[in-house]
Amino acid sequence: MNFRSLFGALLALFLCYLPSSAQEEPQEELQEQATAAPLEWEPSKYRITKAHLLPMQRGPQAGVSQGRFIINFGSREGVQPGGIFRVMNRGKLMGLVSISRAWRDSAEARIVRLVHKNNPESPVSLEPGYYLEPKLVLLETIQFEKGEPVITPEMYERLHYVARFIRSYPQFPLMLEGHTDNTGKRVENKKLAQERAEGVRLFLNEVYRLPMKQMHPVGYGQERPVAINATEKGRYRNRRVDIVLIDALPR
């Protein structure tokens, strides 16, 4: 399959769903990046906005075991429950949090591990203003049907915001993890999964201007199913490419 032709056609198709201003936006963003490229990396704009404690939980350890933290990103950016983020303050790792709930424009997180606390006596373990960096964050999944990606207009719109979120973290690797069902030979499925991941990489570059060097396609074949392969519904769920933002490439 010629993925360049396939995803070029997808680009032309889905631009038809967008207003003219939205069609021009990726090119405008590209021009802005070319003319105003930052000389050095800046901290993330995504931060803890509020810290909550449950009623009657005010001791120094309460913020660790019972603390809830509100973040200024949400499901619109592709963030889902279960995503792991590093919490930073002036370049220093303060802790790890896991997203417990996600709304459209905000999310709730709980502490996975507290690394450092500025004020040992304070019940607030992670303070508002601390910024977040990805540790292991599944942003989106592209399904495949009979060898072709299933990218609806709704998926196209979601990927638009996911891509904008990814561009906020240009120094972090984006893994494109290809998977298949168990139909066919294991070796061939692994090759097919790699080809699909590489095709998604090309698609994200051509459509959403994500840098090729940031994206790393890998094919797992049928090794990591998320559903049973005994049903068509399960096989469909397993034919996928997961888009995952991580803190460092696997060794």
Phi, psi of 141, deg, nearest 5:
-130, 125
Same domain, 194 and 220: yes
Q: Supply the range of the domain harboring residue 212.
A: 3-38+136-246
pLDDT at 149: 82
Query: Domain boundary at 110, 129, 148, which?
Result: 129
pLDDT band at 148 (very low <50, low <70, confident <90, very high): confident
Neighbours of 194 (CB within 10 A): 17
Q: What is the CA radius of gyration of the chain?
A: 20
Coil vs helix vs strand at 56: coil
Residue 225 has pLDDT above 90, yes or no: yes
Coil vs helix vs strand at 210: coil
For 23: left if phi > 0, alpha if psi spans -120 to 50, otherwise beta; the answer is: alpha
Residue 239 has pLDDT above 80, yes or no: yes
Between these two residues, 185 and 60, which has the higher pLDDT value?
185
Phi, psi of 47, deg, nearest 5:
-140, 165
Same domain, 99 and 141: no
CATH number for 185: 3.30.1330.60
Residue 143 has pLDDT above 70, yes or no: yes
pLDDT in tens, 61-113: 555 667 899 999 999 999 999 999 999 999 999 999 999 999 999 999 999 99
Q: Domain for residue 43, yes or no?
A: no
Residue 175 has pLDDT above 80, yes or no: yes
Q: Domain for residue 251, yes or no?
A: no
Residue 28 has pLDDT above 50, yes or no: no
